[in-house]
Amino acid sequence: MMQPRFRTAFCLVCGLQEHEVGRLHCFPSVQDRCRLWQEKMNMVFTGNTLHHHRICCNHFTEDQYVNRINWRLRRDAVPTLLPCSTVQRHLSITGESQIHKPETSTSMTKTYPATGAEIQLNISNISLQTTEYGVAVETLVPSNLKYCGTNY
């Protein structure tokens, strides 16, 4: 008898799981709302609603909640707390061994084969350092941004 497969939900932006943060929110199932979320995240909108993907509560401001006790978002809520450290967190989650520093561009696009979703990340103020174990990514971001529960 086959064992049921359980998929662990995680934040598309920072990779944290629900037990590491308070709540994971689904992408809106309405296409126009989903397009707005993807535009705010600098994602390339492909027509998919991505309603199976999640974004954690750390990417929403307090005023975007109807009630923070039960983590209910307002209908017009949009993720806005998306620090540049997304690039660093993404690289550590995916375990990518090759890092290409853009020569003239300040953005990169990552395609996720499982979903066909494309995420365009705007890169700014990144320094790459070589260590004995490979390349370490150090991202410099403004201090007023809220992180996803992880110190880099």
Q: Model confidence over 37-49: pLDDT tens digits? A: 888 888 777 777 6
Q: Where are the domains of the chain?
A: 24-139
The beta strand positions in 23-125, using DSSP E, are: 24-26, 43-44, 54-56, 65-67, 72-73, 107-112, 117-122
Specify the pTM: 0.50
What is the chain's mean pLDDT, rounded? Answer: 66
Kindly tell me the number of DSSP H helices and DSSP E strands found in the chain: 2, 9
pLDDT in tens, 3-14: 655 567 888 888
Confidence category of residue 115, pLDDT binned at 50, 70, 90: low
